């Protein structure tokens, strides 16, 4: 009973904090996004959750190429809470031989802390030809003494924005699925050792609810992907592998249904279930680490990293995983109690 109450309390807290804690202030876009070498221009910067008019001077703005070549803004002016204007003089030379130079935007002040927008502006030579390199003008400024925002907030990640909150809803689905499939496999092992029909019912119940959570993980992932990666399905390695894993478990239920003798069916299903779980681990935990993925956590993905999942987000994420897992166990046990009653009724 206590764990059912914990599930409800934890999830309640996760919904409250997960949805109500604001994101850190951040930058969404900047205009113009392309400028010519030697240009003098005013960069209009759009903020999110910002209060630019309330920021104390100095508000410092930089354009940075690969962290080394830096342009500092001459003057910065707040237009309104979410719009900032910064004047820049672009040198006529590029810091490295290139026809096109991507620049990251950094805005820093004490109220907001440092804010970043990768690839905000591009210096593009008009003729498309490579511009001679002379980096002395690109080394006059330095990005330093950045402020840190210490408020209790969630990470602002460009493109994701508020959808980062899906961390507490989409991601735990996979953890629940894994725990339920693990329990299912364990009961299959017990069934093979004891031939206990109840162990088989448990294995089937945990697998069924595990599959439900796996499917929820897949569809919520597709929705999230549609608005961050641009398409619901992009043959990402993790998408492919989880789809394969879910099919393996779908086959478990087809296998169960395809034998007339219940005892034989239970035995074969138990053996298959152990293999299914053994295939789940490489499919979900090993193969996606070998290939590059759009998902965070793997190599070649600079968008999310360990720092992005900041302490505040972990504080909500871990209870979310625990809460959803307990809810999954609860639903699975309801299913199992039903199967056991069914079994007992048949025996009478």
- Name the one range near other proteins by CB under 8 A: 98-106, 185-193, 292-300, 328-336: 328-336
Under the criterion CB under 8 A, does residue 326 sit at the interface with other proteins?
no
Assess contact for 252 and 276: CB atoms under 8 A.
Answer: yes
Rounded to 5°, angle at Cα 85 from 152 and 154 = 15
Under the criterion CB under 8 A, does residue 284 sit at the interface with other proteins?
no
Under the criterion CB under 8 A, does residue 209 sit at the interface with other proteins?
yes
Question: What x/- string results for residues 153 through 192 when contact with other proteins is judged by CB under 8 A?
Answer: -------xxxx-xx--xx--x-------------------
Sole residue written with tokens 């398409």: 231
Under the criterion CB under 8 A, does residue 83 sit at the interface with other proteins?
no
Minimum distance between the CB of residue 338 and other proteins, rounded to whole angstroms?
6
Query: In terms of CB distance, is 94 or 171 closer to other proteins?
Result: 171
The residues facing 72 across adjacent strands are 62
Under the criterion CB under 8 A, does residue 254 sit at the interface with other proteins?
no
Rounded to 5°, angle at Cα 185 from 182 and 191 = 145
Q: How far is CA 172 from the centre of its chain?
A: 11
Assess contact for 84 and 57: CB atoms under 8 A.
Answer: no
Calpha distance 184→344 (Å, rounded): 21
Query: In terms of CB distance, is 164 or 283 closer to other proteins?
Result: 164
Under the criterion CB under 8 A, does residue 247 sit at the interface with other proteins?
no
Under the criterion CB under 8 A, does residue 215 sit at the interface with other proteins?
yes
Under the criterion CB under 8 A, does residue 220 sit at the interface with other proteins?
yes
Under the criterion CB under 8 A, does residue 239 sit at the interface with other proteins?
no
The residues facing 63 across adjacent strands are 71, 105
Phi, psi of 333 (to 5 degrees): -70, -30
Query: In terms of CB distance, is 48 or 186 closer to other proteins?
Result: 48
Burial of 129 (0-12, 13-18, 19+ CB in 10 A): exposed
Assess contact for 308 and 154: CB atoms under 8 A.
Answer: no
Q: Work out which of 3, 152, 227, 285 binds other proteins, going by CB under 8 A.
A: 227
Residue 331 host element (H or E): helix 311-347
Query: In terms of CB distance, is 71 or 322 closer to other proteins?
Result: 322
Which residues make up the interface to other proteins (CB under 8 A)? 19, 28, 48, 160-163, 165-166, 169-170, 173, 209, 212, 215-216, 219-220, 223-224, 226-228, 331, 334-335, 338, 341-342, 345, 348
């Amino acid at each position: 009973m206590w764990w059912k109450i914990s599930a409800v309390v934890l999830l309640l807290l996760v919904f409250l904090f997960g949805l109500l804690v604001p994101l850190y202030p951040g930058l969404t876009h900047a205009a113009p996004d392309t400028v010519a070498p030697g240009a003098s221009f005013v960069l209009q910067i759009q903020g999110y959750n910002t209060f630019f008019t309330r920021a104390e001077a100095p508000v410092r703005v930089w354009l940075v190429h690969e962290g080394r070549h830096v342009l500092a803004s001459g003057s910065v002016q707040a237009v309104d809470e979410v719009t900032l204007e910064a004047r820049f003089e672009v040198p006529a030379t590029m810091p490295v031989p290139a026809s096109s130079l991507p620049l990251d935007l950094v805005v820093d002040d004490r109220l907001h802390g440092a804010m970043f927008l990768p690839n905000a502006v591009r210096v593009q030579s008009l003729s498309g030809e490579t511009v001679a390199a002379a980096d002395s003008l690109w080394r006059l400024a330095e990005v330093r003494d950045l402020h840190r925002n210490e408020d209790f907030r969630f990470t602002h990640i460009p493109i994701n924005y508020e959808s980062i909150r899906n961390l507490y809803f989409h991601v735990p689905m996979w953890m629940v699925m894994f725990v339920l499939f693990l329990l299912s496999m364990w009961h299959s092992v017990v069934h093979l050792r004891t031939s206990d029909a109840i162990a088989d019912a448990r294995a089937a119940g945990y697998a069924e609810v595990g599959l439900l959570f796996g499917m929820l993980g897949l569809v919520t992932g597709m929705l999230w992907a549609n608005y961050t990666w641009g398409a619901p399905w992009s043959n990402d390695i993790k998408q492919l592998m989880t789809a394969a894993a879910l099919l393996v478990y779908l086959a478990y239920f087809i296998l169960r249904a395809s034998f007339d003798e219940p005892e034989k069916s239970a035995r074969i299903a138990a053996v298959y279930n152990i293999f299914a779980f053994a295939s789940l681990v490489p499919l979900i935990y090993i193969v996606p680490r070998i290939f590059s993925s759009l998902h965070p956590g793997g190599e070649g993905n600079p968008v999310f990293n360990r720092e992005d999942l900041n302490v505040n987000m972990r504080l909500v994420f871990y209870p979310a995983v625990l809460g959803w897992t307990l809810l999954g166990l609860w639903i699975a046990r309801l299913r199992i109690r039903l199967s056991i009653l069914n079994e007992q009724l048949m025996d009478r």
